[in-house]
Structure 1
């Protein structure tokens, strides 16, 4: 992150937005610290809420569909479990700076009350300020405050605050009509997350006979000695994809059993997905999970993705640039959120049935 911040500094950006996971996974503190220090920013405004996906922050407690974060499946994440539900405490445990909280009452009222709450914390030397939010309007209030009163701030949040920021900016610049994706042909759905929510989304798609599916053993995907099995899966996937939409997903982790490296699983899954895509040339791809998307892009030699618009809350579509799939359509999303019928809706949108 320090190197990235130094590289960004040479471009002299007028605004920096630090995207974080809406479930607070990752190295939030060190990454915020690095950006503040290297870019010379005065303070960080942190708002991880994403109301459209059931992520709310109320009295500093982060809720996932009404359940405190520390009591959800995220607390058992095999790679980066988050067992604390208080946003300020999660960040405070990772940063060298003082962390303060702006409560929901001030965030909801916006304008004068919100500015007063922030000003009070800054006068105490608070460097990182966490904001409550339970409606999208609250996130727009935070973005507006940052742009108007504290332009030297680092905005830190999930897709929720990013949408709030985009809404405020486009209100001032004039909105542009977003284009909608559409395509003909088979679609490849690749899910590298073991999230129960993503599994339900896959099942809903398959249940409506809109896709066939292959459930691949995570340990075999990660095993360096199982190359031949992955090759066979790739051949099988290519045959299925040539005939219909295909879902590639991984087996969920078993309780009390050592779990393979998530990076190794993502790489193995990407090998299978790339083999199918290179042979059968899908009309579009859906990639769920950041590690999975990155691994698939590497396998397909993708140089960049030109982003166009959000087709559903948390689902963004773009055009692949570079590699054998150049010009192809791709939709991405994080694994652990969304409604159960999101992939059904996405299929309808891509096929012109919505």
Structure 2
């Protein structure tokens, strides 16, 4: 294994796998830290954790455990992957995990770059933009678990860490890898070893990848990996044969728990098109009036592509959380989704599409999936995934995907438009 990756959620980890596979690396995503060694043909291993919203001490512990396993696989470089909207609270977990990994690897410099231009995420002057809006005006300020209220990543990261926070500006990146390395050196010498890097184009991310080719650790969204396969290829370390994909026939279903604007548009598009859809009332789940068995039985009885969703307006979500507690609501809904997924697969579903990081994590854990083969891209940042001989998945981050994503994903998972 060449590249060892630690993701703080499941959808972001598959997003990273998508980037690496497109660049020709053989990538496998693991649900948590494996107990056994990786297969010898794996070039990039991605340990997907559900650590984004955990207490910081637990997130650090799990991340260091993943690092130890990846190190034992022979990895030459490590990447801590988090969301392209830098999802975190003022207490963490991005900063604390990155610091702990840096300490374990003995490095005095780490770049932070969640940019992903293909999905509209750009960093300029240390500020994160989503499309043409600042992060704090993008809808992420309403996230139920990690509301992002400050677009200045330097300020946000400084609240989470003990080390100094610096900046690698766009003009240094545009000047090339050598100039970017020189600016990084200057920031470290000034006592600012955690460096937020600007990037507004894919080429900027490739330049940054080249600039940190010799560093043990980097952090960011999936875009920061754009330049890494080329580094390994230049050393003659990559296999000439890329990964292959085969589609999967059989029934499909969608489970959606994200409240993001993108997912709510996808739900509305699906419903408007006349596809079968069942809205789940969180209050009914909490009161025991709605069960996973009822939802699964409904979906299995439908023709077409059934959607089971709880993707409500953020105000409605906050109202339910205020009445019952954020942790209680999240735990009950995730348990509902996990059990629904188990029943759907047991009932014959072979193509399962999920929307939302917490929802996707609950499904992967509920199905007891250990490793996932990363396949072709469905939409920017979202690959098809094979989870077993007869099960394929699309694990979509809430903010990703076009309006017709659900139907597009179902077709791709079946093999439509994918070279044999």
TM-score by length of 1: 0.87
Q: Distance in 2 between matches of 1:164 and 1:54?
A: 18
2:112 maps to which of 46, 53, 59: 46
Q: Which moved more, 1:113-122 or 1:123-132?
A: 113-122
Q: Map 1:8-157 onto structure 2 (within 5 A).
A: 8-9=67-68, 11=72, 13-26=75-88, 27-147=93-213, 150-152=214-216, 154-157=217-220
Unaligned runs of 5+ in 2: 1-59
Match of 1:254 in 2: 315
Match of 1:320 in 2: 387
| Partner SS state of residue 85, structure 1 | coil
1:238 maps to which of 287, 300, 320: 300
Unaligned runs of 5+ in 1: none
**RMSD over aligned Cα, in angstroms?**
2.4
Match of 2:251 in 1: 186
Q: Which string of whole-angstrom CA distances, capped at 9 and with x for unpartnered residues, describes residues 253-308 of structure 1?
A: 435624253233222122223222312x1231112222212212232232332323
Q: How many residues align?
A: 341
Q: Which string of whole-angstrom CA distances, capped at 9 and with x for unpartnered residues, describes residues 135-184 of structure 1?
A: 1111111111111xx423x2101111123323544566476444345232
Cα offset, 1:7, TM superposition: 5.3
Cα 1:130/1:290, change in 2 over 3 Å: same
Match of 2:279 in 1: 215
Q: Distance in 2 between matches of 1:183 and 1:6?
A: 34
Cα offset, 1:109, TM superposition: 2.6
Corresponding position: 1:196 with 2:196: no
Corresponding position: 1:226 with 2:310: no
Cα 1:116/1:347, change in 2 over 3 Å: same
Cα offset, 1:48, TM superposition: 0.5
Match of 2:395 in 1: 332
**Quick check: 1:187–1:284 contact (8 Å CA) kept in 2?**
yes
Q: Map 1:334-353 onto structure 2 (within 5 A).
A: 334-353=397-416
Q: Distance in 2 between matches of 1:166 and 1:219?
A: 47
Q: Which string of whole-angstrom CA distances, capped at 9 and with x for unpartnered residues, describes residues 39-95 of structure 1?
A: 323321111001010001111110011100111211111111110001111111100
Cα 1:273/1:162, change in 2 over 3 Å: same
Q: Which moved more, 1:112-121 or 1:167-176?
A: 167-176
Q: Distance in 1 between matches of 2:281 and 2:232?
A: 45
**Quick check: 1:237–1:272 contact (8 Å CA) kept in 2?**
no
Q: Distance in 2 between matches of 1:289 and 1:56?
A: 21
**Quick check: 2:354–2:395 contact (8 Å CA) kept in 1?**
yes
